[in-house]
Amino acid sequence: MIKYEKNPRNIQKRSLKTIQESAELSHFNNNEKAVALQMIAAAGDVSLLENIRFSKDAIDIALEALKEDFDLLCDTDNVACAMKQKYLKDEPICLINKASVISQAKSNKHTRSMEAVDLWKPYLSDSIIVIGKEATALYRLLEVLEELKDEDNFKKPSLIIATPSGFTGAVESKNYLWDNHEQLDIPCITVLGSQGGSDVASAAINTLLKIRKETDDG
């Protein structure tokens, strides 16, 4: 018989212990550290640490938004489905498989996630946006936010979590977000470079949801 750890709690504890022994996390506050640990565990790569970025007060603002039950917007079903139901009060919004999105994407020769972002506009106010896969979704979101920022009565999102990975647009789109989040006045959590992915984004939002739930429970 092969001997291996079967208990999920023990697996989680050992994983986090391994990361803490390998990574320097002292520059993060406690909540940032909790989020970063889970992001690294999801990536399976301690080197992710050097590219994780939290804008000023991003965690506190995110927790307040979650407390108010503002909308959660996701670029793909993978991200939405990975959110832990026990922490959610409402279903996350993901429009990538909507018939009109599929049709418009084919017609315009755009990615579906990019077309889905255009349908996010009614939900953007105070929302938390989680983009884990599609760089084109992040690019389009940034375009939309720049278009809307000077409109009367426009309320910006509370937070953007952006971790698309890859070698076509991912690096550049995340750099653009990080370089311009202060100008847009929108807090963000991101992973610079080509690393990231849906699992990393899901780990970040799930950790925030868990912290919110634990805070609510006292």
Question: Could you give the number of structural domains in the chain?
Answer: 1
Domain-embedded: residue 202: yes
Domain-embedded: residue 175: yes
Domain-embedded: residue 210: yes
Res 129: pLDDT: 99
- CATH code for the domain of 163: 3.40.50.10230
Q: Could you give the CA distance from residue 199 to residue 89 in angstroms, rounded to a whole number?
A: 21
Res 44: pLDDT: 95
Classify residue 37 as left (phi > 0), alpha (psi -120 to 50) or beta: alpha
Query: What are the strands, taking DSSP E only, across 49-178?
Result: 52-54, 72-74, 128-131, 159-162
pTM, rounded to two decimals: 0.95
Domain-embedded: residue 63: yes
Show the domain range for 176.
51-217
Q: What is the mean pLDDT of the chain?
A: 96
| Residue 179 banded pLDDT, cuts 50, 70, 90 | very high
The string of pLDDT tens digits covering residues 59-107 is 999 999 999 999 999 999 999 999 999 999 899 999 999 999 999 999 9
The string of pLDDT tens digits covering residues 98-135 is 999 999 999 999 999 999 999 999 999 999 999 999 99
